[in-house]
Amino acid sequence: MNKRLIGRMGLMLVITGAIFGAVGAFQLYKPKMIRGFILAAGRPPAAVTTTKATMEPWQSVISSIGSLRAVRGVDIAAEVSGLVRSVEFRSGEDVAPGKLLIQLNADAERANLRALEVAADLAQTVLERDRQQYAIEAVSKAVLDADEHDLQLKRRQVEQQAALVERKAVLAPFAGRLGISTIQPGQYINPGDRIASLQQIDRLFVDFALPQQDLSRVRIGQQVTLSVDAWPGRTFAARISAIDPKVDAGTRTLQVQASVANPRRELLPGMYVKAEVAEGSARPLLTVPASAVAFNPYGSTVFVVKAAAGETDGKPNPPTVEQRFVKTGARRGDQIAITEGVAADEEVITSGQLKLRNGDAVQIDNSIRPSSDPAPRPVDR
């Protein structure tokens, strides 16, 4: 019995050794076998594009949208009704302050003004005669007081009528550019009827709103960069000139006003603008294309390329990838800042990562790369 037991134990040891030897051989030839399986199945390493994570200067900005408004801008209207006798301007004309724009018919008002002036002259003559009579005690002081009161009343009537005549002439209240007008001579207009728009556009205001949490990040005099669709590829420099002292209770936003010089009059009131408020000075941040980051409910990830060592059948093994969790920072255009998880000069996958898993082999083809423009603009083709 002992001999049989010893024989069985020896057989088990031999079998165990064979198993461990087979496992070791499998581990030794595993890369070759996997490569053979992939090639046999017609599935080469996944094709991807890559780029290196680089440190780039990054200007932190607060982005918003707003609209342009003239420093001075009004819709000119007449104060009184009347028939238009003459139109003294052209649509789109630049005018000086006090320039006559519209003259309404004021013949009746002028005639009444002359009559009141004659009455005032008569009252002046009566007063002077009664003063001479009062000096010799020919009239009482009451008569003299009545004459002075009558003269003052008639002078006020003259002033009132002269003001009415002046209101029949519509003047430019300040220098600026007139808009398009449809007013024609012979047309009857009522008080408040719009004659033309007058805008002073050498300098404009930019009105935009920011979330209330950005209050500590803005201040008077801070630089603002503006861009408008009318001038693609260009920016305009502005500065914050006023901050509303009240937060809107409905939207919880803060109204901000900036001022922009417009000497060439390339900007017009009412334009939609994109405003970026520069915060502090530029600082270096680790930057990758936004397409390299996969955003998931459990965290953001990237695939980092790892160079493979060794050869198989005389050919170098393809590189593999390592999936990492990262923390992202600010974003601008096609770029995003990485604050944790990737080091500078590490190579990350920028496209093709949807079919990858941790440890997969890849084939790098950077003939066509995703965009990594910090300020991309759509191209109308």
pLDDT given at position 8? 64
> CB count, 10 Å around CB of 316?
11
Instruction: Report pLDDT digits (tens) over 285-302.
Output: 899 999 999 998 889 999
pLDDT, tens digit (0-9, with 9 covering 90-100), for 5-57:
566 666 666 666 666 665 555 555 555 555 544 444 445 788 899 999 999 88
Position 136 scores a pLDDT of 85
Same domain for 122 and 52: no
Among the candidates 166, 188, 208, a domain finishes at 166
In a domain, 48, yes or no: yes
Structurally, how many domains does the chain consist of?
2
> Do 50 and 117 sit in the same domain of this protein?
no
Supply 191's token pair. Answer: 């008080």
Domain-embedded: residue 89: no
Tens-digit pLDDT profile for residues 133-178: 888 888 888 988 898 999 999 999 999 999 999 999 999 999 999 9
Tokens linked to 242: 């006023």
User: DSSP for 133-146?
Assistant: HHHTTSS-HHHHHH
Residue 73 inside a domain? The answer is no
Question: Can you tell me the mean pLDDT for 352-366?
Answer: 87
Average pLDDT value for residue range 179-199: 92
In this model, does residue 227 exceed pLDDT 90?
Answer: yes
289 shares a domain with 360: yes
Residues whose CB is less than 8 angstroms from the CB of residue 301 and which lie 6 or more positions away in sequence, other chains included: 293, 294, 323, 324, 325, 326
d(CA 67, CA 81) in angstroms, rounded, equals 35
For residue 350, the enclosing domain spans: 43-59+283-364
- CA 144, 150, 156 angle in degrees (round to 5)? 140
**HSE toward the beta carbon, residue 358, CA cutoff 13 A:** 5
Q: Residue 353: its pLDDT value, please?
A: 85
**Distance in Å from the first CA to the final CA of the chain:** 92
Question: Over the chain, what is the mean pLDDT?
Answer: 85
Confidence of residue 279 (pLDDT cuts 50, 70, 90): confident
Residue 148 within a domain: yes
Statement to judge: residues 52 and 118 lie in one domain: no
pLDDT(114) > 80: yes
For the chain, how are helix, strand and coil distributed in percent, rounded to 5?
A: 30, 40, 30
Residue 355 inside a domain? The answer is: yes
In a domain, 213, yes or no: no
Is residue 102 over pLDDT 90? yes
Q: What predicted TM-score, i.e. pTM, was given to this entire model?
A: 0.62
**CATH number of domain containing 341:** 2.40.420.20
Report the CATH number at residue 125.
1.10.287
Whether residue 269 has pLDDT greater than 90: yes
Rounded CA separation 353/302 (Å): 8
Q: In what order do the strands lie in the sheet with 82-87?
A: 169-171, 100-104, 82-87, 188-189
Beta bridge partners of 333: none
Residue 27 lies in a domain: no
